[in-house]
Chain A
Amino acid sequence: MEVTSMSVLKRREVAVFMTALAGIAVIADYFLKVPILNTAVADLLRWGVILASFMLIWGTISMIRVHANVIRKKTPNQWYYSVWLVFLMVVFVAVSLIQGLAGPSSRWMYDSIYVASSSTYYSILGFYMISASYRAIRARSGEATLLLVIAVIIMLMNAPIGAAVWEGIPALGKWIVDVPNTAASRGYIIGLAIGAVILGVRTLAGRERGYLG
């Protein structure tokens, strides 16, 4: 008996049922004023927050496992980077355990290593923007031409110098953003919302199970 009841729990359908139950409760909560339901869903949301922190911890642990593997196998040209990564991580955790996460040492590491390098890492894209604008971005069709003309007007509007190029630029740019941009972006949003609703219904109905691994 014991074994069979366990194997029922192992089935994917149990998880699919839990997804549907949680989902339907949360949807009903929005449209119905039923105190018991509303309180229960408020609790459910807080549970979701707790589970999300566990997922974050899980993510970090999976990453450590990847790097531990690299180190154990001594993957050439790679393992010493992983050692360095794990070392910095351990140091960060240690200093924040001693002084608190908001303490001076963790803030120092965070600011001078993490913020500095991550912002530099992404700022490189500024350089690529220049080379691509020159070497690859082309008015290859009517559509691309329209896109580029608009982009140039917007860039001139954003650069305070734009008004000096032609005094109509700021007003024209503002109109483009407020009217055609708003409209097309709104169409995009409505389409996006419809797509999300259909995908959501499919997920809650158990027809989309990729997330269960």
Chain B
Amino acid sequence: MAGEDAWTKLGRIDPRILYALLIIVLIIPIITPVGLPIPITDQTRKTYEAVEKLPPGSVVVCSMDTSGAAWGENGPQAVVVLKHLFQKPLKIVVVGFETDGPMLGQQALLQIPKGEKKYGEDYVNLGFIAGGETARAAFGRDIHKLVSRDFLGNPIDKLPIMEKVRNAEDFALFFTFTSLISAVEMYVRQLHAPYKTKVVAAIIGLGVPSIVPYYNAGQVFSILSGSLGAAEYELLTKMPGEGVRLSDALSLSTLLVVACVVVGNVAFLAVKKKRKEEKR
């Protein structure tokens, strides 16, 4: 009987104790980074190499389809990818089809080193375009007929970069930084299916399993998987940043979840077994 009590008690712990445990597990690696190794996945490498191999002057679109809530994962991705793009002789177009996107994109643009690049000539922020799937389709079709001003209010006809960017056929690579599986699926439908655009899905980790079939089918060019993808990209570009900083705490807290699942279930099964025995 005493044994059963202990197991039952173990299963009924005050959640606040668990919260405290989690806080400790998160704080330790933030204060003293452990520097656990981060293996680099094929998909991240593929993305990196694709950017490396782009011919000079290619147009790369970075669509910010994320929200403040998901910025913890999409932010590190966007920052490291933009940093990398700005080091290359490329033209960069930032846009957003979810309301929060362009503002977050603007924040990311402000915090990265821009080198020689000039606004309006080498990069531009086209701002938010409402309409979800419709907006994405219209954007791929003809940007100039759709949008007349950028995020800062400049007429886009006066921006030299926009002479090279007219429709989806001009996109060498299309990044979507997003928390939404549906956003990636919209690009598969509206950009890849009609124009064969190379879409890179920089999605929060949660979305990855649902995107893999599109990658497998070649409908998505590659995937950056959440903050881990950001960390890998940071290592490839030798610019460790937020992603790498996150990864230690991420490792330990994930292990804590595993431990909780295991202990919780052992207690559950023990109680179940005891009950069965008592019934006999």
Contact = CB atoms under 8 A, between A and B. Distances in A.
A67 interface: no
A130 interface: yes
Given A42-B141, A185-B209, A135 B264 contact: yes
A101 interface: yes
Interface stretch (A8-16, A49-57, A72-80, A81-89): A49-57
A103 to B, nearest CB: 9
B254 A158 contact: yes
A161 B251 CA distance: 6
A107 B151 CA distance: 13
A130 B21 contact: yes
B212 A111 contact: no
Nearest to A148: B261
Contact of A186 (B11, B36, B213): B213
B247 A160 contact: yes
Interface string A147-173: 010011001101111010000001000
A127 interface: yes
Given A46-B145, A49-B146, A130 B135 contact: no
B68 interface: yes
B184 to A, nearest CB: 12
A160 to B, nearest CB: 5
Contacts of A121: 69
A110 B106 CA distance: 12
B260 A49 contact: no
B263 interface: yes
A52 B133 CA distance: 11
A163 B39 contact: yes
Most chain A Cβ neighbours within 10 Å, of B37, B141, B146, B254: B254
Contacts of A40: none
B130 interface: yes
A127 B19 contact: yes
Contacts of A115: 68, 71, 104
A100 interface: yes
Contacts of B106: 102, 107
A17 interface: no
**Shortest 10 CB-CB contacts between residues of A and residues of B:** A52-B131, A131-B15, A134-B260, A52-B130, A48-B134, A118-B68, A159-B251, A45-B138, A49-B131, A133-B260
Interface of B: 11-13, 15, 18-19, 21-22, 36-39, 41, 67-72, 99, 103-104, 106-107, 125, 129-132, 134-135, 137-138, 141-142, 145-146, 151-153, 194, 205, 208-210, 212-213, 216, 228, 247, 250-258, 260-265, 268-269
Given A134-B263, A148-B261, A189-B213, 9 more contacts: A42-B145, A53-B131, A122-B70, A127-B18, A134-B13, A137-B265, A139-B268, A181-B212, A182-B213
